[in-house]
Amino acid sequence: MTVSEIDCRDMKCPGKETIVLVMEQGRKGWILRLLVPIDQVTQELVDRRARDPAAQVR
C-alpha cells in the first residue's frame, strides 16, 4: 500500500488530494481517491470512501 498527496485537478478539491494505492500479490489493485490533503484523512473518511464503489477508481 502507498499513500500519496498530490495536487488536485478536480474543481471540487481544496488544492490537494490523497491517493491510497492498494496492491496485493495475485489480486487486482485498486485506488482510493480522497479529495482532502493527507493531514485531513481520518479512518472514518477512508472507511466511508472504501464502502462507496464510486470512490474506487480501478
Where exactly are the structural domains of the chain? 2-57
Confidence band, pLDDT 50/70/90 cuts, at residue 56: very low
Residue 9 pLDDT > 50: yes
Question: By C-alpha distance, which of 19, 28, 25 is closest to 46?
Answer: 19
Task: Dig out the grid coordinates for 4 from the structure.
Answer: 500519496
Question: By C-alpha distance, which of 52, 11, 54, 55 is closest to 33?
Answer: 55
Confidence band, pLDDT 50/70/90 cuts, at residue 58: very low
CA 33 vs CA 24, 26, 30: distances in Å: 18, 22, 10
Residue 30 pLDDT > 90: no
- The confidence score (pLDDT) of residue 55 equals 55
**pTM recorded for the entire structure:** 0.76
